[in-house]
Copies of this chain bind each other. A is one copy, B any other.
């Protein structure tokens, strides 16, 4: 039994290993010097490989970067999922954990976070709804907010019938047809607000720590959750 040939061939194993090394080295270069420093030549040098060899794994530099964007999205999503997974706290504070994990990931991978929303990343982001890498985290957030809203108040609409319908359609496209408009609004609000704050924090808007972004974020989450649970929209 011990000498049984493994499921994956030696070839596949080595290939996967090299593939992984390309990923790791690429991220190392990006985190150190930015995406612009990630050239096929530089990558190959850092791996003591020749540049053309990389093309056995990725068709072009753009393809490599697209792959890295996808992987980064998954890492971000995983970080958020893990942050709330083991927690037994109330849904409301788990929302804060989720968002804090988001900000932490962005702060510790600022170059990569910028990469996710750069021009070329649009191809990855604009996939059929429900298949975006971040939709999983979005679904998590929606579920948490539904739990916060439980038991649901009598009126779960936003007061804008058109917007309500758009929100229901948005939730349906993401496989959460039972989401109330107000929960969907809260999810979108939190997501856009946090992205706005983190994004501007990274560009140096709150330079010199004049304003602590985390305080602002908590304020914004509370406001969004409050708007969701309040009796009158």
Q: Mark A194-215, 1 if CB is under 8 A from B, else 0.
A: 1111011011110110111001
A216, CB-defined interface residue at 8 Å: yes
Cross-chain contact B173 with A210 (CB below 8 angstroms): yes
When distances are taken between beta carbons in the complex, the residues of chain B under 8 Å from A2 are: none
Residues of chain B lying within 8 A (CB to CB) of residue A191: 196, 200
With a cutoff of 8 Å between Cβ atoms, the chain B residues found around residue A195 in the complex are 196, 199-200
Decide: A35 and B223 in contact? CB cutoff 8 A.
no
Of the candidates B188, B192, B203, B211, which one forms a contact with A188 in the assembled complex, judged by CB atoms under 8 Å apart?
Answer: B211
Query: Is the CB–CB distance between B204 and A216 below 8 Å?
Result: no
Contact, CB under 8 Å: A170 / B125: no
Chain A residues within 8 Å of chain B by Cβ, number? 50
A192 to B191, CA, bound (A): 12
- Per-residue CB contact flags for chain A residues 23-45 toward chain B (1 = under 8 Å, else 0) read 00000000000111000000000
What's the Cα separation between A129 and B34 when bound, in Å? 25
Question: Chain B residues with Cβ under 8 A from A192's Cβ?
Answer: 193, 196-197, 200, 216, 220
- Residues in B neighbouring A46, C-beta threshold 8 A: none
Q: CB of A4 within 8 A of chain B?
A: no
Report the minimum CB–CB distance from A63 to chain B (whole Å): 15
Closest to A202 in B: B122
**In the assembly, what is the distance between CA of A160 and CA of B219, in Å?**
10
Nearest chain B CB to A201 CB, angstrom units? 9
Contacts of A160 in B (CB 8 A): 215, 219
* Inter-chain contact A119/B111, CB cutoff 8 Å: yes
Interface residue A53 (Cβ < 8 Å from any Cβ of B): no
A189 at the interface (CB under 8 A from B): yes
Nearest CB of B to A168, in Å: 10
7 further contact pairs, Cβ within 8 A, besides A125-B203, A163-B211, A191-B200: A36-B119, A122-B202, A160-B215, A162-B212, A166-B215, A170-B211, A196-B197
Give me the 5 closest cross-chain CB pairs, A-B, nearest first.
A196-B196, A126-B204, A192-B196, A195-B196, A125-B203
